Amino acid sequence: MASRSMTKGAKSRERILEAVIEAVAARGLADLSVADIGAAAGMSAGHVMYYFATKDTLFVEALQYSEGLLDNDRARLLSRTDIPAKLLRDYIALYLPTSTRDARWSLWLEVWNRSLTHPELSSIQLELDARWHHDLESIVRGGLASSSFVVTDIGAAVETISSLLDGLAVRMLTGTPGLNRRGAIRLATSASQTLLGCAEDPVRTTSSR
């Protein structure tokens, strides 16, 4: 009986987390209430708060849930045998927002903001960041092993590319004129390949043959 109850509870929590992501994508975070999330999940606000003690907890776990899905996408990416430059471009495409209403990135901004006054959130943010950095480092090391990339300080390269992507993501989310997703991916890919010592765009060269 206890096992069955836990399973039901886990399903309810997952439904709530999915509802957060859907609601954020549809309405944004500014005026989103627990009642709105409950309505999207088909339950009351009280029911939502039964599973998540605070709004901070709810948003952080929604971000962790969303990131877990992208962990799977990156695992599939890293299992491919494409040239490193193509893996890098596809990693960048996964990293950047899909639109100005990207729910995952809206949650990221919220967690970043709240971590300034809630130190416990900072450790969660750093742990999530570390997973992205680890996978980017794997791509860079693969490129070095195949002589596709030429860089001496892997850690600095990963940090630089990550910082570039974060900056572009914020500019995309705030609606910077003339910066759309395709342009941001192209800009980030070009800058990253230059940093990593790619003299030309091997992705474009390979696809045009």
Is residue 143 within 8 A of residue 84, CB to CB? The reply is yes
Residues 48 and 60 in one domain: no
The pLDDT, as a whole number, for residue 91 is: 97
Residues 118 and 42 in one domain: no
- Stated pTM of the model: 0.85
The pLDDT, as a whole number, for residue 201 is: 57
Residues 168 and 89 in one domain: yes
Q: What angle do CA 133, 166, 132 make, to 5 degrees?
A: 20
Residues 82 and 165 in one domain: yes
Count of domains forming the chain: 2
The pLDDT, as a whole number, for residue 117 is: 80
Token pair 């939502």 in the structure block, residue? 48
| Cβ-based neighbours of 78, under 8 Å, separated by 6 or more | 87, 135, 138, 139
CATH number at residue 126: 1.10.357.10
Cα 38 to Cα 45, 88, 121, distances in angstroms? 5, 39, 24
Residues 203 and 141 in one domain: yes
Going residue by residue through the chain (209 aa), what tens digit of pLDDT does each one get?
344 545 877 889 999 999 999 888 888 777 788 998 999 899 988 999 999 888 888 988 999 999 998 999 999 999 988 899 999 999 999 999 999 889 899 888 888 888 878 778 888 888 999 999 999 999 999 999 999 999 999 999 999 999 999 999 999 999 899 999 999 999 999 999 999 998 555 555 444 33
Domain span including residue 169 = 55-207
